[in-house]
């Protein structure tokens, strides 16, 4: 049975925002917590001449610390997902920072520039999809140039957008009923349409070893229990 995840204190003013500890966000993004911390808080490093230098955060988080813990919102999580995706494709952090700064200026979104438009990468820079003159362009945010290359990024198709802002995330794809929605269970992964947390379903199924029985207990389809197990197993293996 999975261990209970720690979460910072919740208040009504955060309803609809989602709320995550750094450990939760790193786990959901399938990345080491140390990397997430460095991208979120920045870090110091030594140069060749022994001078200590600082690397700033890649993006600005929405909330202050809560009870001494780093607190992240759903949009912070989406921002982290994009940064991780870009880094997996080989985009340097310096390029991502430049792209975020340009996007923030273009879209008027200081803290979450990657969460308000559809971004892609060709491994060298960060591209944004812009619709203009009945044609979709890819804007090179690091160089402020328009390019016309089709670049596919699976993360785009796992996000729902509302009013040009990321609204929910389907970590296994939209054909699987596991969703991260900041309006449900404070943004914890749940089964779409019923709101049962995936960790609860998976832990119960592991404990009892009977998917059909667990499905009846929680009034969900057996496929929902299997989806919860698949998702939690994937998270545990990351």
Determine whether 172 is exposed, middle or buried from the number of CB atoms within 10 Å of its CB (0-12, 13-18, 19+). middle
Give the mean pLDDT of 39-68.
82
Determine whether 47 is exposed, middle or buried from the number of CB atoms within 10 Å of its CB (0-12, 13-18, 19+). exposed
Q: What is the distance between the alpha carbons of residues 82 and 97, in angstroms, rounded to a whole number?
A: 12
Q: Rounded mean pLDDT of the chain?
A: 84
Closest CA to 230 of 198, 207, 197: 198
Contact 123, 90 (CB under 8 A): yes
Residues 6 or more apart whose Cβ sits within 8 Å of residue 90: 123, 124
Band (pLDDT 50/70/90 cuts) for residue 59 is confident
Q: What is the distance between the alpha carbons of residues 178 and 225, in angstroms, rounded to a whole number?
A: 10
- Please give the pLDDT value at position 3: 42
Band (pLDDT 50/70/90 cuts) for residue 110 is confident
Domains within the chain, CATH numbers bracketed: 170-238 (1.10.10.10)
- Please give the pLDDT value at position 31: 93
Predicted confidence (pLDDT) per residue in 181-202, tens digit: 999 999 999 999 999 999 999 9
- Please give the pLDDT value at position 95: 85
| pTM higher than the cut 0.95 | no
* Strand positions, DSSP E, 3-93: 20-21, 43-46, 52-55, 71-72
């Amino acid at each position: 049975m999975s261990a209970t995840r720690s979460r910072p204190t919740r208040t009504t003013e955060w309803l609809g925002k989602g709320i995550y500890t750094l450990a939760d966000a790193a786990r959901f993004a399938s990345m080491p917590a140390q990397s997430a911390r460095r991208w979120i808080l920045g870090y110091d490093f030594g140069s060749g001449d022994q001078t200590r230098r600082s690397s700033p955060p890649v993006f600005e988080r929405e909330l202050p610390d809560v009870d001494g813990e780093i607190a992240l919102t759903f949009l912070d999580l989406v921002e982290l997902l994009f940064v991780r995706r870009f880094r997996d494709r080989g985009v340097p952090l310096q390029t991502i920072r430049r792209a975020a700064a340009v996007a923030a200026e273009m879209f008027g979104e200081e803290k979450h520039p990657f969460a308000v438009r559809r971004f892609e990468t060709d491994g060298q820079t960060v591209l944004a999809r812009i619709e203009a003159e009945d044609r979709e362009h890819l804007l090179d945010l690091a160089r402020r140039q328009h390019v016309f290359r089709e670049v596919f990024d699976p993360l785009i198709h796992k996000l729902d957008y509302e009013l040009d802002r990321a609204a929910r995330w389907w970590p296994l794809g939209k054909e699987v009923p596991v969703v991260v929605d900041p309006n449900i269970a404070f943004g914890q992964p749940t089964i779409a349409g019923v709101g049962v947390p995936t960790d609860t379903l998976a832990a119960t199924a592991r404990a009892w070893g009977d998917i059909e029985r667990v499905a009846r207990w929680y009034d969900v389809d057996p496929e929902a229990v299997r989806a919860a197990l698949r998702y939690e197993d994937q998270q545990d293996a990351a």
